[in-house]
C-alpha cells in the first residue's frame, strides 16, 4: 500500500507538471513499467469491487507517460 501511494503521488505531481517526465523516467522508468504490469490487475479489481473507477488513476497516468517515454527512447536508438 505504501509503494502504491508513493507512485500515486508521483503520478499526480507529474500530471500537474510539478515533476519533469525525463526526471521521473531517469529515476523510475523501466522499473515502474514492470511494477505497473504486475499490479494492474489488482488496481483494476479494486476499481470494480468498490465502484471507484478513478482509483489509481494517477498511477495509471504515470504508467502511460513512462510507456510513452520508453517508446521515445527506443525510437531514438533506431535513428
Q: Which tens digits make up the pLDDT trace of 7-21?
A: 999 999 999 999 999
Q: What is the pLDDT of residues 39-79, one digit of tens each?
A: 999 999 999 999 999 999 999 999 999 999 999 988 888 76
Domains of the chain by residue range = 2-78
**Could you give the C-alpha distances from 43 to 5, 12, 29, 66, 78, in angstroms and in order?**
12, 16, 20, 18, 34
Q: Residue 27's CB: how many other CB atoms inside 10 A? A: 11
pLDDT value of residue 27: 95
Amino acid at each position: 500500500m505504501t509503494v502504491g501511494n508513493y507512485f500515486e503521488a508521483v503520478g499526480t505531481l507529474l500530471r500537474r507538471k510539478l515533476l519533469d517526465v525525463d526526471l521521473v523516467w531517469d529515476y523510475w522508468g523501466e522499473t515502474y513499467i514492470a511494477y505497473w504490469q504486475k499490479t494492474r490487475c489488482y488496481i483494476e479489481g479494486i476499481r470494480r469491487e468498490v465502484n471507484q473507477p478513478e482509483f489509481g488513476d494517477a498511477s495509471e497516468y504515470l504508467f502511460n507517460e513512462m510507456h510513452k517515454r520508453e517508446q521515445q527512447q527506443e525510437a531514438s536508438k533506431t535513428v
